[in-house]
Amino acid sequence: MADRAKPDRIPDPQDSLIVLSGCGTSGRLAFFITSGFNRELRRLNQGAICLYIIAGGDRALFSSQEAPEDDPILGSLSLRKVSEGKKRVLFIGISCGLSAPFVAGQLDVCLQHPDVYTPVLIGFNPAHQARKEPIPGCTFTFHSVVERMQELSKMQKAFLINPALGPEAISGSSRMKGGSATKILLEVVFSAAHAANSSRTPILYKYRMKSYKQALDVTYSQAEGIAALMEAAGHSLQCGRRVCYLGWGSLGLLGLIDASECKPTFGADYEDIRGFVSGGYKELGNKEGDLNLMGCEFGITHDDFLNSVLPCLTDKDMVLLLYSHSGNQWELSTKLLLNAVSTGAHIFKGKVYQNYMIDLQVTNSKLYHRATRLLQTLSGRSESQCEEALLKAIYQVDKLTEDMMTCHLKTHTDAAGKGEKVVPLALVCLLTGCSVKEAKSLLERKAIIREAVEECLLKYTSSKGLKETRESEDKKLREAGSLMM
Ligand code: F6P
């Protein structure tokens, strides 16, 4: 943030705007950061200048809505709408894997109108690993957008912030390291900008990084306690019970964020891990207000917990209280802890094999391709064989019709959203050569998906001597990068 020029005062919200946007956890963190920053501005009697956009609208703040991530037009329209009449817009797109078409569409708008927009992109893959896959109906890919940004960044007309974080502990689960890094980066940039604006001098912001390091050290010095919590949460899920986060303030919001991501990552039900926050929508101040009418999963207040959850709690459920007496100092620590608890609990439940999410939902194009790659890695079969198996599992058939094979990928991901255990089904079919029906009954017999998968893999690799092939494929994939897609 050290700048040569004297910083201007925070611009007039009438003319100017800062927009943060992203999909899934990246959009939720956009909301988290804008809420905090605007709250601080209001405290100083300044106008709120920051807005968030999340793919799928506010319902995506608290529930899994993966399909809108694929829609660049939706992204560009939502950006145009919020910036109507503004003279200057600082747009910050967040896509940990440099991959979301929704964000690419928004960056494209910015690049077409440099007189109004200054685009910033935050992500954690190297630029050359940005997603190259064509986006239907568009002339650009995420990668080509990144290249245009890189060109403009030479004149400081665009900014690409993409420090390398390395792979996630669970491959592709960017809600963890990627999410934490997003939070840290944005907080540092926003508070430095704020401090520079107040003091009207450029700011070098080193001390804040130290406090994050301290938060990490303090958190992981409690490794034993965290492990005990993970185990307890795992036991709850293993016996079909639930984990609830009952929170206050920003820590409560972090609970909601953590819980909402379990569905696409682990194929979880929204009731498995669920967050509640004191004051609900009123306290959160989200754009669309109270979403309660959208269904049970949008009941997020403590009253909802008291009315619909408390009466059926048993000693097999786990309720974690999230609060702090010292403001937001514990946010990072809480995020790390919750990520560990929810991930650990699903590992206990058998939703992870090695470091792969074997029961992910296949509800957008990125997840579809991730699932196909995962099947390749675990079965050693070709891409086309794996895609065919995936489609059979999605449509629950042993023979694909012409229509199924030729329709748009969106039709596949819509259908996949209605199914269960799609990826494990495809894998069992691939490894054993059995029918979808047989694979289904095999999975039903085994309560733990990882065990069913392990059993099939063991039989398959020992009968075909393919263990080595799989391991080397696995290694190649990891080394090849695309760490977060
Ligand atoms: O598509 C689902 C998902 O992987 C979410 O789990 C995640 O939060 C979101 O995409 C965002 O990904 P990215 O930040 O890479 O665009």
Same domain, 48 and 173: yes
**Does residue 274 sit in helix, strand or coil?**
strand
On whether residue 54 sits in a domain, the answer given is: yes
Q: How far is the CA of 35 from the centre of ligand 1 (A)?
A: 21
Q: What is the pLDDT of residue 7?
A: 44
Tell me whether residue 474 is in a domain.
no
How far is the centre of ligand 1, averaged over its atoms, from the C-alpha of 347 (Å)?
20
Q: How many domains does the chain have?
A: 3
Q: Whose CA is nearest to atom 1 of ligand 1?
A: 66
List Cβ neighbours of 184 (8 Å cut-off, separation of 6 or more): 209, 212, 332
End of a domain among 308, 334, 353? 353
Q: Same domain for 178 and 52?
A: yes
Asked if residue 451 and residue 338 are part of one domain, the reply reads no
Dihedrals phi, psi of 220, to nearest 5 degrees: -80, -5
pTM of the model: 0.92
User: What CATH number corresponds to the domain at position 441?
Assistant: 1.10.8.1080
Are 166 and 53 members of one domain?
Answer: yes
Do 106 and 176 lie in one domain? The reply is yes
Distance between CA atoms of residues 482 and 476, nearest Å: 12
pLDDT of residue 467: 53
**Angle between helix 422-432 and helix 365-379 axes, rounded to 10 deg:** 30
State the closest ligand 1 atom to the C-alpha of 485, by its place in the atom list counted from 1. Answer: 15
150 shares its domain with 228 = no
Burial label for 273, CB within 10 Å (0-12, 13-18, 19+), is buried
CA of 24 to the centre of ligand 1 (A): 5
Judge whether 11 and 84 are in contact, CB under 8 Å. Answer: no
Q: Whose CA is nearest to atom 6 of ligand 1?
A: 24
Question: Residue 383, Cβ neighbours under 10 Å: how many?
Answer: 12
CA–centroid distance, 170 to ligand 1, in Å, is: 13
What does each of the 485 residues of the chain score in pLDDT, given as a tens digit? Answer: 334 444 445 566 689 999 999 999 999 999 999 999 999 888 888 888 999 999 999 999 999 999 999 999 999 999 999 999 999 999 999 999 999 999 999 999 999 999 999 999 999 999 999 999 999 999 999 999 999 999 999 999 999 999 999 999 999 999 999 999 999 999 999 988 888 888 888 777 666 788 999 999 999 999 999 999 999 999 999 999 999 999 999 999 999 999 999 999 999 999 999 999 999 999 999 999 999 999 999 999 999 999 999 999 999 999 999 999 876 689 999 999 999 999 999 999 999 999 999 999 999 999 999 999 999 999 999 999 999 999 999 999 999 999 999 999 999 999 999 999 999 999 999 999 999 999 999 999 988 999 998 988 888 776 665 555 555 555 554 544 445 66
- Give the rounded distance of the alpha carbon of 251 from its chain centre: 18
What is the distance between the alpha carbons of residues 475 and 393, in angstroms, rounded to a whole number?
26
Ligand 1: residues with CB < 6 A are: 22-26, 66, 69, 94-97, 99-100, 174-175, 261, 264, 364, 366-367, 484
CA trace torsion 250, 159, 73, 63 (10° rounding): -20
Same domain, 170 and 66: yes
The residue among 353, 376, 401 that closes a domain is 353
Rounded-to-integer distance, Cα 301 and Cα 278, Å? 6
Please check whether residues 185 and 231 belong to one and the same domain.
no
Domain that holds residue 17: 7-203
Q: Which of 302, 181, 297 is nearest to 249 (CA)?
A: 302
Å from CA of 98 to ligand 1 middle? 10
Examine the domain organization and report whether 269 and 198 are in the same domain. no
